Amino acid sequence: MSGTTEELLVEPDRLAAELDRADPPTLLDVRWRLTGPPGRDDYAAGHLPGAVFVDLDTELCGRPGPAGRHPLPDPAALQAALRTAGVRAGHPVVVYDGGDGMSAARAWWTLRWAGHRAVRVLHGGFPAWVAAGLPVGTDVPTPPSGDVTVAPGALPVLDAGEAARLAAADPGVLLDVRAAPRYRGEAEPVDPVAGHVPGAVSLPAPEYVTDGRFPGAEALRERFAAAGVTGDAPVGAYCGSGVTAAQAVLALHLAGRTDAALYVGSWSNWVADPDRPVATGPTPPR
């Protein structure tokens, strides 16, 4: 495994202590569900004190289309949204979601891709905060405008061609982190075509994360190694639209693979071109 692991997660009690400081971290509520209702409704019902809601679909991602259901955001639009949320250059940010860790991981990835390194995920999200007996409020803050500058490209990304080459590379691993029936082509509840990128390896998200909580680094390394992620061989991840796969990239960072790439468009981009090949069945031997 290459790279060094910096602090990526924060537990509720630790975050509560940090929020009591004179200059606390900027807190972003990014709760989201694939099929709705909007996370803003959850935010209105109760959120961490001082948190600002940021919408995954409309503020952290671009418009859905051939590039995928959650493509990269326009840098200028992302910068405006982050500044409105109070994100400051170099100042720590903590993101949280409804507990599954997926939208928080995509928010983490997006800020890191945009050049903002000081960002962590609340481990276990909003449910972990509530379970710890910590306060919840409904007041909507109006933070001072931030001054963050978005500088895209700080984390590696894959387009469809690069994903195909990585899947075919030896050494090299492209992880498909969707549910196994979707990978095998037996079911596809969201996209118009079932199956997977030829050569990709199936590693469903529950195999490395449980209810939004990650095991230790060594356990993660073992689980990724079982899928072929060994040494310094290139590794990337995809899912349906780049949200669950961002969580895989976070897990890979926790395991020490800070070079892991995200296929942002993921399956929703792959199948937008009918000329791209589609494979079905179990993970092939390598």
C-beta separation of 26 from 143 below 8 A: yes
Report the candidate in 191, 168, 169 with the shortest Cα–Cα distance to residue 179.
Answer: 191
Tokens of residue 262, six digits: 């995200």
Q: Which residues are designated catalytic?
A: 239
Burial class (CB in 10 A: 0-12, 13-18, 19+), 77: middle
Widest Cα–Cα separation across the chain: 56
Beta carbons within 10 angstroms of residue 263's beta carbon? 30
If we measure between CA atoms, which residue out of 3, 21, 35 comes closest to residue 241? 35
What are the backbone angles phi and psi of residue 131, rounded to the nearest 5°? -65, -25
